[in-house]
Homo-oligomer: A and B are copies of this chain.
Amino acid sequence: MSFPPRAAAEPLTVMGAGLVGSLLSLYLARRGHTVNVFERRPDPRRAGADVGRSINLALSDRGWRALEGVGVAEAVREVAIPMYRRVMHDVKGQLTHQPYGLPGQAIYSVSRGGLNRRLLELAEAEPGVTLQFQQQCLDVNLRQRELHLRDAETGAEQHVAFRRLFGTDGAFSAVRGALQKTDRFNYSQSYLEYAYKELTIAPAADGGWVLEKNALHIWPRGRYMMIALPNLDGSFTCTLFFPFEGEESFAALPTPADVEAFFGRVFPDALPLMPELTEDFFHNPTASLVTVKCFPWAFGDEALLLGDAAHAIVPFYGQGMNAGFEDCTVLNQLMDQHGDDWETIFEAFQEQRKPNADAIAEMAVYNFVEMRDRVADPRFLLQKQIESKITAQYPGQWLSLYSQVTFSHTPYHAAWTNGQRQDAIMARIMPHIQRPEDYDRPEVQDLLQQEMTANPAVAVPA
CB < 8 Å neighbour of A187 from B183, B184, B189 = B189
Instruction: Say yes or no: A187 contacts B186, CB within 8 Å.
Output: no
Docked pose: A186 CA to B189 CA in angstroms: 6
**In the complex, A185 has a CB within 8 A of chain B:** yes
Q: Out of B186, B188, B288, which one reaches A184, CB within 8 Å?
A: B288
Give chain B residues whose Cβ lies under 8 Å from the Cβ of A183.
191, 288
Identical chains bound together, number: 2
Within 8 A of B (CB), among A85-142: none
- Interface 0/1 of A369-407, CB less than 8 Å to B: 000000000000000000000000000000000000000
Q: Is the CB of A190 within 8 A of B189?
A: no
Contacts of A187 in B (CB 8 A): 187-189
Residue of A183, A184, A188, A288 with most partner-chain B CB within 10 A: A184
Residues of the B chain whose Cβ atoms lie less than 8 Å from the Cβ of A189: 185-188
Assign chain A's interface to a size class.
10 to 19
Which chain B positions have C-beta within 8 A of A244? 184
Residue on B nearest A183 in the bound complex, by CB = B288
Q: Which residues of B contact A188 (CB under 8 A)?
A: 187-190
CA distance in complex: A244, B184 (Å): 11
Selected contact of A191 from candidates B186, B190, B288, CB within 8 Å: B186
Task: List, in ascending order, chain B residues with CB within 8 A of A190's CB.
Answer: 186, 188
Give, as a whole number of angstroms, the nearest-CB distance from A292 to chain B: 10
Those of A175-193 within 8 Å (CB) of chain B: 183-191
Give the distance to chain B from A364, nearest Cβ to Cβ, in Å: 17
Q: State the CA gap A190–B187 with chains docked (Å).
A: 7
Interface hits, A323-367 → B, CB 8 Å: none
Per the bound structure, the CA–CA distance linking A68 and B69 in Å amounts to 69
Q: A419 to nearest B CB, angstroms?
A: 25
Interchain CA distance A191-B184 in the complex, whole Å: 6
Which residue of B is nearest A180, CB measured? B189
Which residues from 153 to 190 on chain A have a C-beta closer than 8 Å to any C-beta of chain B?
A: 183-190
- Report A244 CB to chain B, min CB distance, Å: 8
Residues of chain A in range 300-314 having any CB-CB distance to chain B below 8 Å: none
In whole angstroms, what is the CA distance A185 to B172 when docked?
Answer: 13
Report A231-280 residues with CB < 8 Å from chain B CB. 244
Closest Cβ neighbor of A184 among chain B residues: B191
- A176 CB to nearest chain B CB (Å): 13
Closest CB-CB distance, A300 to chain B, in whole Å?
15
User: What residues on B are CB-neighbors of A288 within 8 Å?
Assistant: 183-184
In the complex, A187→B293 CA distance in Å? 10
Encoded as 1 (CB less than 8 Å from any B CB) or 0, chain A from 187 to 206 comes to 11111000000000000000
Chain B residue nearest to A286 in the complex (CB): B183
Residue of B nearest to A195 (CB): B184
| Alpha-carbon distance between A187 and B292 when the two chains are bound, in angstroms | 10
A187 CA to B189 CA, complexed, in Å: 5
B contact residues around A184 at 8 Å (CB): 191, 244, 288
Task: Output the least CB separation between A286 and chain B (Å).
Answer: 10
Smallest CB–CB gap between A298 and chain B, Å?
A: 16
Question: Measured between alpha carbons, how far is A456 from B244 in the docked complex, in Å?
Answer: 39
* A291 closest partner in B (C-beta): B186
How far is B188's CA from A183's CA once the two chains are assembled, in angstroms?
A: 14
CA gap between A187 and B244 in the complex, in Å = 19
What residue of chain B has the Cβ atom nearest to residue A189's Cβ? B187
Minimum C-beta distance from A265 to chain B (A): 27
| Nearest chain B residue, comparing its CB with the CB of A187 | B189
Q: Report A402 CB to chain B, min CB distance, Å.
A: 28
Cα(A192)–Cα(B126), bound, Å: 44
* CA gap between A281 and B60 in the complex, in Å: 55
How far does the Cβ of A120 sit from chain B's closest Cβ, in whole Å? 29
A-B contact pairs, 13 of them (CB 8 A): A183-B191, A184-B191, A184-B244, A184-B288, A185-B189, A185-B191, A186-B189, A186-B191, A187-B187, A187-B188, A188-B188, A188-B189, A188-B190
Can you list the 5 inter-chain pairs with the closest CB atoms, starting with the nearest? A188-B188, A184-B191, A187-B189, A184-B288, A186-B190
Interfacial residues, chain A to chain B (CB-CB below 8 A): 183-191, 244, 288
